[in-house]
């Protein structure tokens, strides 16, 4: 199954153009939607999750018209929004049972088996009787995935799933998402480059409502090969270098700024070439440098 998005646009009543002519082909597997806060990612996710209407364009999930056959989409959709509410005093087991009933699993025995299986799969079985209000951030996200998996969905959408998780919880969540993404379409919407690097075989960068590039991370890195240069400078030099060069990013290393710049030729001035990473791809796309424009969809 494939999700095909064509020329999708959305403008809010205040004039903000959240999506501008967005087109993407999303196959089975983990697909990373990378962009800064306010890029339009959540708007796109809400439209695909049937929670919002687009102004124009189309989206098809296999043979389903995802914009007009919302009930059919919901039958095969699992959704983990950035913030999701739960009844705080209800246990994980009881809440999942209630959500399974809402999902249409009417048979009590079948529902019990499904709930137990999902709690095991998300490593929450030993916490099944615990109230959700006592869950850690990582446990809440794993519960969110458990509810998203109800009904054997064909499309799973997760919006900023690792924000606020500690490294251990993030790794456990990575492993769970990677397992899920083997057989279904999983769209991972995030501003965290590491999430896409660790999980996704295909990706897109979106900014100000527009798709700047799409494809495989490896191809995006190849497009920047030999064009990323690095230098450690003094803090007082940062603004001057930003005026002289196409600065991609600035990081403090041991209290001293290290800058990455984009240049098709050796810029001299003490810079040395470094292999591009996905963060370079992201910031190069956002700043509109040539290597990423050549790769744009």
User: Facing residues of 249 across strands?
Assistant: 260
Specify the pairing of strand 56-61 against strand 3-11.
antiparallel
Predicted confidence (pLDDT) per residue in 232-264, tens digit: 999 999 999 999 999 999 999 888 999 999 999
Instruction: Say if residue 240 is in the same domain as residue 209.
Output: no
Instruction: Say if residue 135 is in the same domain as residue 15.
Output: yes
Q: What percent of the chain lies above the pLDDT cut of 90?
A: 61
Residue 127 in contact with residue 92, Cβ under 8 Å? yes
User: Whole-angstrom Cα distance, residue 212 to residue 162?
Assistant: 23
Instruction: Tell me the average pLDDT of the chain.
Output: 89
Q: Which of 189, 215, 241 is the last residue of a domain?
A: 215
Instruction: Say if residue 90 is in the same domain as residue 225.
Output: no
User: Whole-angstrom Cα distance, residue 137 to residue 149?
Assistant: 19
User: Whole-angstrom Cα distance, residue 114 to residue 62?
Assistant: 26
Residue 12 has pLDDT above 80, yes or no: yes
Residue 56 in contact with residue 8, Cβ under 8 Å? yes
- Domain enclosing residue 188, as ranges: 3-215
What CATH number has the domain bearing residue 166? 3.40.50.300
Q: Indicate the number of domains in the chain.
A: 2
Q: What's the pLDDT at 116?
A: 94
158: enclosing H helix or E strand: strand 155-159
Instruction: Say if residue 189 is in the same domain as residue 88.
Output: yes
Rounded to whole angstroms, what are the CA distances from 241 to 53, 255, 267? 44, 18, 12
Instruction: Say if residue 210 is in the same domain as residue 240.
Output: no
Residue 60 in contact with residue 3, Cβ under 8 Å? yes
Rounded to whole angstroms, what are the CA distances from 280 to 56, 160, 217, 250? 32, 20, 11, 11
Looking at 101-105, 112-116, 235-239, which range is the least confident one? Answer: 101-105
Instruction: Say if residue 118 is in the same domain as residue 151.
Output: yes
Residue 4 has pLDDT above 50, yes or no: yes
Q: What does R_g of the chain's alpha carbons equal in angstroms? A: 21
Q: Which of 215, 247, 264 is the last residue of a domain?
A: 215
Instruction: Say if residue 228 is in the same domain as residue 145.
Output: no
Question: How sure is the predictor about 291, in pLDDT bands with cuts at 50, 70 and 90?
Answer: low
Instruction: Say if residue 190 is in the same domain as residue 233.
Output: no
Rounded to whole angstroms, what are the CA distances from 235 to 165, 198, 228? 31, 32, 20
Predicted confidence (pLDDT) per residue in 68-82, tens digit: 999 999 999 999 887
Q: What angle do CA 173, 82, 207 make, to 5 degrees?
A: 105
Q: Which of 166, 195, 215 is the last residue of a domain?
A: 215
Instruction: Say if residue 198 is in the same domain as residue 233.
Output: no
Instruction: Say if residue 152 is in the same domain as residue 272.
Output: no
Residue 202 in contact with residue 215, Cβ under 8 Å? yes
Looking at 34-38, 81-85, 132-136, which range is the least confident one? Answer: 81-85
Instruction: Say if residue 205 is in the same domain as residue 251.
Output: no
Half-sphere exposure (CA, 13 Å, Cβ side) for 135? Answer: 30
Task: Tell me, rounded to whole angstroms, the distance of Cα 213 from its chain centroid.
Answer: 15
Instruction: Say if residue 18 is in the same domain as residue 119.
Output: yes
């Amino acid at each position: 199954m494939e999700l095909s998005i064509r020329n999708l646009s959305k403008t809010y009543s205040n004039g903000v153009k959240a999506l501008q002519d967005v087109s993407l082909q999303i196959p089975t597997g983990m697909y990373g939607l990378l962009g800064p806060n306010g890029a339009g990612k959540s708007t796109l996710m809400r439209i695909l999750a049937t929670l919002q209407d687009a102004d124009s364009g189309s989206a098809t999930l296999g043979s389903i018209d995802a914009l007009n056959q919302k009930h059919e989409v919901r039958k095969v959709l699992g959704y983990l929004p950035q913030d999701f509410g739960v009844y705080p005093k209800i246990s994980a087991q009881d809440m999942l049972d209630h959500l399974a009933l809402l999902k249409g699993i009417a048979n009590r025995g079948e529902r019990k088996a499904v709930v137990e299986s999902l709690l095991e799969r998300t490593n929450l079985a030993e916490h099944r009787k615990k109230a959700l209000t006592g869950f850690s951030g990582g446990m809440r996200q794993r519960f969110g995935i458990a509810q998203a998996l109800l009904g054997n969905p064909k499309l799973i959408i997760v919006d900023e799933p690792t924000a606020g998780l500690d490294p251990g919880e993030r790794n456990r969540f990575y492993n769970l998402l990677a397992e899920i993404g083997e057989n279904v379409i999983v769209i991972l919407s995030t501003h965290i480059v590491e999430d896409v690097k660790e999980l996704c075989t295909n990706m897109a960068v979106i900014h100000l409502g527009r798709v700047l590039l799409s494809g495989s991370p490896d191809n995006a890195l190849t497009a920047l090969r030999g064009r990323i240069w690095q230098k450690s400078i003094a803090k007082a030099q940062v603004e001057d270098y930003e005026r002289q060069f196409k600065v991609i990013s600035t990081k403090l290393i041991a209290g001293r700024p290290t800058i990455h710049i984009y240049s098709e030729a050796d810029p001299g001035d003490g810079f040395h070439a470094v292999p591009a990473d996905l963060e370079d791809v992201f910031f190069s796309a956002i700043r509109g440098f040539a290597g990423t424009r050549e790769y744009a969809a």
